[in-house]
Amino acid sequence: QSVLTQPPSASGTPGQRVTISCSGSSSNIGSNYVYWYQQLPGTAPKLLIYRNDQRPSGVPDRFSGSKSGTSASLAISGLRSEDEADYYCAAWDDSLSGEVFGTGTKVTVL
Amino acid sequence: QVQLVESGGGLVKPGGSLRLSCAASGFTFSDYCMTWIRQAPGKGLEWVSYISSTGSTIYYADSVKGRFTISRDNAKNTLFLQMNSLRAEDTAVYYCARVATVTMVYFDYWGQGILVTVSS
């Protein structure tokens, strides 16, 4: 089962700002970097944020990540219809010696 | 450009075996750690296994430990996942992915995924 907890859904109108939380523990988020992935319908996941707050080339600066203690968050500003997707946080877990994913959040653009 | 192409999926009976392959191209395969991640129908992502660039370090999720074996052939630029004693709960789309760096385990390139269905 997922070790990192996310809200199942989030929504907003075009142009709004949406924030997704990711809650973990001292063995994962508390001691390692957080990553975020975007999965558009019917496609493979794509890296969105690495090392807590870094964007790979090609990812719009509308997407931003942050981390504090054992929690992290992803913000999408200037929401667009093409942002409708599932979003997952992830981190290495030292206790499990493995990567753990969040439960996933479905973002809907109203 | 980086490409990862999975193959070997399909329908298998409970208790059966299957071997997945992931053909890599567009980068120096032997320089990168690799991983398998799966996604059950309608569910979230689940990390399955990790292998270092030389194959000397391997990790498994508890859910597959003792049943699945990850391996790689650097001469053939191919990653494998041998799956034995398959169960219905192993039904999922299986993705291979490249681990971006040695010091940070995150996945910068993913394959398109291959479906494995375990059913009688």
Give the pLDDT confidence of B62-71 residue by residue, as tens digits: 999 999 999 9
- A100 to chain B: closest CA residue: B47
Which residue, B18, B9, B27, is CA-closest to B97?
A: B27
**pLDDT tens, B29-88?**
999 999 999 999 999 999 999 999 999 999 999 999 999 999 999 999 999 999 999 999
Instruction: Kindly tell me if the per-residue pLDDT of B104 is higher than 90.
Output: no
Which residue, B11, B4, B8, B34, is CA-closest to B19?
A: B8
Q: Which residues of B touch A100 (CB under 8 A)?
A: 47
A33 touches chain B (CB under 8 A): yes
Structure token digits, residue A1? 């089962």
Q: Per the CB < 8 Å rule, is A44 touching B113?
A: yes
Instruction: Kindly tell me if the per-residue pLDDT of A108 is higher than 70.
Output: yes
Nearest by CB: A56 against B59, B108, B110: B108
User: Element (H or E) spanning B92, and its range?
Assistant: strand B92-99
Q: Which residues of A touch B100 (CB under 8 A)?
A: 47, 50
What pLDDT score does A1 carry? 57
Instruction: Kindly tell me if the per-residue pLDDT of A3 is higher than 90.
Output: no
